């Protein structure tokens, strides 16, 4: 069985590929990337695959039995068509199973909702492709907060519009483990899993970071409009709106949901503190 992993040059795709290599060996994992030379260090076969180019995937999926489709990063309407390119190529080239990395979130009530809607459409496209399928809905990665620590320390605070809302943070390492199980074990076929961890507030997040990193951060909650204005000024309209929408969703409870992680993996999700400690120790 050959398993293909799209967007293997990205951090999630790479985590999944590394977990797969441990389980089934390098010879059974095929990485697909828009820029193959970026991931030559993985030591697996790398094939070129740009989501905008259906022909790439007709070639890249030759001999692939099971495909991990990592959700694209483009604007919502573009990503629906990009994903369709991969799904149609999978159908035409003998792929038997697609596992798709979707996201949790509210499809209607905040500025992040258009992205959630596009992922829900791809979920339907995968489900209707006539192949075996599994869908994971990823929680928010905790890594960006840890990568941002220097800025947090400089500012003395974690500042966003999440308020007292709880977020079920996960990590790319936990997701890599979960998707490997979903790819390899047929008992997951036909399932949609919320791949999330323990719900915590931003104040709790700050406390955990302080415990592990010895910082003295506080959480400072601001209004949705104020935070959106700040993010758009720093990151541009599209990305700033998306980031503000994510925290607005947390504020409104969109990320405080039950976890299916143990169903997908056979073990509990690591706690936020365990994840932060593991990342800090690397």
Total-model pTM:
0.95
The CATH number assigned to the domain holding 31 equals: 3.40.50.720
Give a yes or no: residue 144 inside a domain. no
Give the pLDDT of residue 282: 80
The C-alpha atoms of residue 29 and residue 17 are separated, in whole angstroms, by 7
Q: At what angle do helices 237-251 and 224-235 cross, to 10 degrees?
A: 150
> β-strands 157-160, 132-138: how paired?
unpaired
The reply to whether 89 falls in a domain is yes
Give a yes or no: residue 156 inside a domain: no
Residue by residue, pLDDT tens for the chain (282 residues) are: 899 999 999 999 999 999 999 999 999 999 999 999 999 999 999 999 999 999 999 999 999 999 999 999 888 889 999 999 999 999 999 999 999 999 999 988 888 899 999 999 999 999 999 999 999 999 999 999 999 999 999 999 999 999 999 999 999 999 999 999 999 999 999 999 999 999 999 999 999 999 999 999 999 999 999 999 999 999 999 899 999 999 999 999 999 999 999 999 999 999 999 999 999 988
Of 87, 66, 83, 272, give the one whose Cα is nearest residue 182.
Answer: 66
Residue 249: predicted pLDDT:
94
What is the extent of the structural domain holding 69? 3-137+170-195+258-267
Give the total number of structural domains in the chain: 1
Residues in the chain: 282
Classify residue 202: in a domain, yes or no.
no
Report pLDDT for 171: 98
CA separation for the pair 164, 148 (Å, rounded): 21
Q: CB-based contacts of 146: which residues, under 8 Å, 6+ apart? A: 209, 276, 279, 280
Angstrom CA distances, 160 to 17, 40, 54, 218, stand at: 33, 38, 39, 12
User: Cα–Cα distances in Å, from 4 out to 41, 165, 230?
Assistant: 17, 37, 40
Is 213 among the domain residues? no
CA distance linking residue 42 with residue 221, whole number of Å:
41
- Would you say residue 215 lies in a domain? no
pLDDT of residue 69: 98
Measured over the CA atoms of residue 3, residue 9, residue 13 and residue 18, the dihedral's sign is: positive
Give dist(CA 99, CA 267) in Å, integer: 20
Whether residue 245 lies inside any domain: the answer is no
Tell me, yes or no, whether 164 lies in a domain. no
| Helices (H), ranges, the chain | 11-24, 54-60, 76-92, 113-127, 143-147, 149-155, 172-184, 202-213, 224-235, 237-251, 261-265, 272-281
């Amino acid at each position: 069985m050959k398993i293909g992993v799209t967007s293997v040059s990205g951090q999630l795709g790479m985590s999944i590929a590394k977990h797969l290599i441990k389980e089934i060996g390098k010879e059974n994992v095929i990485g697909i990337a828009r820029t193959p030379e970026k991931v030559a260090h993985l030591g697996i076969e790398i094939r070129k695959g740009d989501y905008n180019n259906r022909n790439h995937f007709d070639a890249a999926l030759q001999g692939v039995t099971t495909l991990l489709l990592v959700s694209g990063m483009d604007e919502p309407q573009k990503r629906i068509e990009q994903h369709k390119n991969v799904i149609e190529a999978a159908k035409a080239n003998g792929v038997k199973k697609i596992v798709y990395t979707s996201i949790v979130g509210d499809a209607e009530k905040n500025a992040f909702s258009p992205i959630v809607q596009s992922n829900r459409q791809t979920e339907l496209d995968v489900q209707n492709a006539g192949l075996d399928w599994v869908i994971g809905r990823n929680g928010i990665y905790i890594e960006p907060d840890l990568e941002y620590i220097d800025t947090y320390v400089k500012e003395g605070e974690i500042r966003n519009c999440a308020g007292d809302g709880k977020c079920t943070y996960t990590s790319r390492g936990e997701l890599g483990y979960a998707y490997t199980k979903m790819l390899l074990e047929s008992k997951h076929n036909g399932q949609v899993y919320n791949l999330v961890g323990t719900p915590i507030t931003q104040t709790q997040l700050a406390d955990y970071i302080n415990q592990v990193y010895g910082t003295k951060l506080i959480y400072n909650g601001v209004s949705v409009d104020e935070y959106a204005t700040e993010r758009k000024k720093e990151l541009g309209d599209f990305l700033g709106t998306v980031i503000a929408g994510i925290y607005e969703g947390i504020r409104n409870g969109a990320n405080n949901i039950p976890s299916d992680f143990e169903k997908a993996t056979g073990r509990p999700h690591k706690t936020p503190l365990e994840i932060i400690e593991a990342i800090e120790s690397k």
